[in-house]
Structure 1
Amino acid sequence: MSLGPAVELSSDCAACGLESGVIELYDALSPATRFGLPVVTRCKLCSITHEAQFDREPARPMREIPANLCPACLSELGPRALDAHVCPSCGASAKLLETAASTDLSSEAALAQALDAWAERAMFPSRDALLVATFCDPDFGALLARIRLRARLEVLADPFGPAPMRPAATTTIASTVEEVPVAVVPSIPPPPLIPPPPSIPPPPRRRRVPSSIRS
């Protein structure tokens, strides 16, 4: 059981060969994680499970122990202690124990059941949707054959992301379709511009003669 904020990583499954198939849960408040081990691991396909075990009780509550100290004797843990999962000062050790064996997936029924369970946990709408989104070769028969050969089960770069576009089968029909010529309509020139009529000057104004001159 997780004691604090956990980090989830993935690794290849040695039992069924699934790439990035083993989910590893690390907890900073777990004594085993202080020695570089995950709290629990589980394969998404064959369901093999391991749980961490620390061989003694911590000296203090884990929240009070700095991350670089042994939970048992509070001495500093170096790189060798993390690699060996053993404290060089007091001999405290952590290890992974198998708590659930790998499922035999060499039969069609067993593989189908394992894929259906995985699809349900990961909320895929169907087994086929899981295969297409996860495996490089999504064919069920091809996956079964690789499992029987104990070959590596290659997955896409991001199993939880959208599936990449796969090229669909296409049929070339250009050779069977007769090319239809396109009629070319000659362009009609626009009508010539008609010049506007010449302007007619207005008639001259009649000059008004004063009455004194007329008499």
Structure 2
Amino acid sequence: MAEIKLIYKYIFRKTIYHLNFLYEKSRDLCLDKDFSREKPTVGYKASRPYEVDFVLKRIITSGKSILDIGSGKGAVLHIAQRFNFLNIYGVEKDPELYTISLENLHGYELKNTRIFLTDFQKLPEDFFDSIDVFYLFNPFGAEPIEILIKMLLKSKLRKPRNIDIIYKNPVHHDKFIQNKKIRLERPYNFITSNSPIHHYTL
């Protein structure tokens, strides 16, 4: 009986995966954009629209600014347009992905949206202090994560505010919870993906 349940579960997950794949490809086709196609050479894999939308609906976005660290082709920036963010930013250090993201977002009324071609560590402190929501899809290893956490803590000291951190595929979850000032609000698990999204607050 247990083996049958495992088989059904496997078939169900595969079905959901392929349906989600078709949805993302259809979405790209309808929009005439390239958000979902993976680029293994640079380690790019797009965030799933449903998952990002689901999590953003559960945090306060009105009047806040969001930064997608490792914004890739701009998929999260596109989804964020549905919410009442004051400003929407992305930072991407790969020139090819950066160029694709500009093409993907071209033609939209994106007066409050900007993408930077640089490393997140090179962003000015005053800019970092203007961000309330940080999104990342496991864009780098443990050392940059530690640097990011230090930057967030310093930013909070310079400008006290509530900070939300949305971390897709939280490989370095331990780095966040090691600091007692950072709290895991909720882990989100989706049948459309093998990797969860963690929502932290600082």
Normalized per residue, the structure richer in helix is 2
TM-score class, shorter-chain normalisation, is under 0.3
Compare CA radii of gyration and give the structure with the larger one.
1
